[in-house]
Structure formats: C-alpha cells, structure tokens
Amino acid sequence: MLTLPTGVYKAYKKDGSEYYRASVTYLGKHISLGSFPSDFCASKAYEAARTILDSDISLKDYTTDSYLSFDKWVSLINFRDNKMYFKTPIYLFKKFFLYYIDKDTHYTFDADDLFYYSNHKIMRRGGYLFVYDYGMQINILSRYGIRNYAVCGRDYRFVNGDTTDYRYKNIEIINKYYGVYEYVKNGRTLYKAKIHINGNYVIGTYKSETEAATAYNKAVDYLRSKGIKKDYAENYIEGLSAIEYASLYTQIRISKKLKNAFP
C-alpha cells in the first residue's frame, strides 16, 4: 500500500473516480487546501501552505503557477499574521480589512462588515460587485442604501475619489430616491423627477427631494391607471407619517406633458 505524502488524502467522487485532497494544521486549526487531480499536486499545495505559514512570504510573492489558489494564499497569510482564519480572501487591519478579488485588485471595508464578508464571497461582473445571499444575487451597494442601477457620480459618490474604498465614511448618497435627480440652478438646489416610458419624461421640478420622490410615486400611480404595465419600484419616503404623506401626495402636481402623453 502506497503511503501518501504528508497532508494528502485520497477521496472518491460519486462515480467512483479518485481524487486527492490536501489540508494543513496551524495553531491547532485544521485547514482544507482544496481538491487536486493527483497526489503530486496535492502535495505541492501542502508544501506551499507550509511555506506561507512558516515564513514571511507575502501576497506579492504569489505566482499563477502556484498549486494554491490566490484566495487561499490570502486566507493563510491573514491567519499567520492576525491569528484569525477566514474562508474568503480577507486581510485584516485594526479598523478595516481588504477583500481581494485577485492579486492586483482589492476593496476596503469597515471592520463592522467583517462578519458579513467572511461568510459571503464577493463576485465581480464588469464593474458590478455582488454576493449571493439566500440564493439571490445582491448588489453590495444595497448595504449602503444605494438602489440598483444607481449611477456613480450622479446618485452616489466616493468622497476620497477611490472607487475601491467601501468604508461607510467614504460613500455619500446624492440621490436616494427612484427617479429623483439633484441639481443646482442660480445657486439654488432643486430636485427634478423623471420617469422612463419608452424614453424619459420629466414629471416636474421641486424644492425638496421628498416632494420629488412623492411626485415620482404619483406618476407611477397615474401610469398604472392608464394601463401601463411596467414594474416600477416606488419610493418609501423617510420621515413622513402616513397622514403627512397623503397630504403631500394630494398637493403635489405632475407635468401636463406626461398626462397629455398618456391621456
């Protein structure tokens, strides 16, 4: 019977074919290193893990020919340096952490988000970052109260200009309601409400974002009454009681152009 290399174990798939797993123990914790097609590859992964844990090797030393994934490199180096192991590629600092997408890309988050991202893997599609939560694809911007399809620079901005810095103090919401856009005219801040129906229609211009958000809701209701079937999201108006909202809804006016387009 052949003796397998240290840290390597044979396993079998459901179809009966064999493969190999590797694991390493450090500070009393047993860490899985992954699955491999041969005992040689699994052994090389174990050796790489031991080198990481027993030396001062850094993330900069990672190469694509490593038998360990980059995610595992991050997890092991963080465990070695900070004595905390995460399955996701997190490197921890005192008040924040870095979440690595690859060797050249990482995002900064507040320590308050550590539990969430240590249990949710961030994925990237283009510039869109998301996680899967209860089987649903969740945009990470939603954790900041930023709605889907919000535009950076128009609806929210990164205060220090760094679009990889997702600490709460660095994200400012400019437009928090659907269909509402802030702008400045003659030194005054105004709010324009728009809605999309085969093109954008201006609902009106208002003195406050609360009025503009309410006008957007009223426009949605009007279009539905005219048989428009589009699934519009509606605004929840913060800080208004049901009575206050009803009063504002009654008073607010929407554009005649919109009404004339859908009489």
Q: pLDDT by residue (tens digit) across 126-140?
A: 878 999 988 889 999
Radius of gyration of the chain, Cα coordinates, nearest whole angstrom: 26
Measured over the CA atoms of residue 167, residue 173, residue 177 and residue 181, the dihedral's sign is negative
Euclidean distance between CA atoms 140 and 74, whole angstroms: 21
Please state, in angstroms and as integers, the Cα–Cα distance from residue 57 to each residue in 54, 76, 80, following that order.
9, 11, 10
Low-confidence stretches of the chain (pLDDT beneath 70): 1-2
> Tell me: the pLDDT tens digits for 64-108?
999 999 999 999 999 999 999 999 999 999 999 999 999 999 999
pLDDT of residue 1: 52
pLDDT of residue 2: 67
Task: Answer yes or no: are the C-beta atoms of 55 and 34 closer than 8 Å.
Answer: no
pTM of the entire predicted model? 0.79
Place of tokens 């201006």: 202
The candidate with the shortest Cα–Cα distance to 220, out of 163, 177, 161, is: 177
pLDDT of residue 239: 85
SS3 22: strand
Write the burial class of residue 261 (CB in 10 Å: 0-12 exposed, 13-18 middle, 19+ buried).
Answer: middle
Residue 44 CB contacts under 8 Å (≥ 6 apart), including other chains? 67
pLDDT of residue 34: 94
Residue 167's CB is within 10 A of a number of other CB atoms, namely 19
The candidate with the shortest Cα–Cα distance to 39, out of 79, 6, 87, is: 6
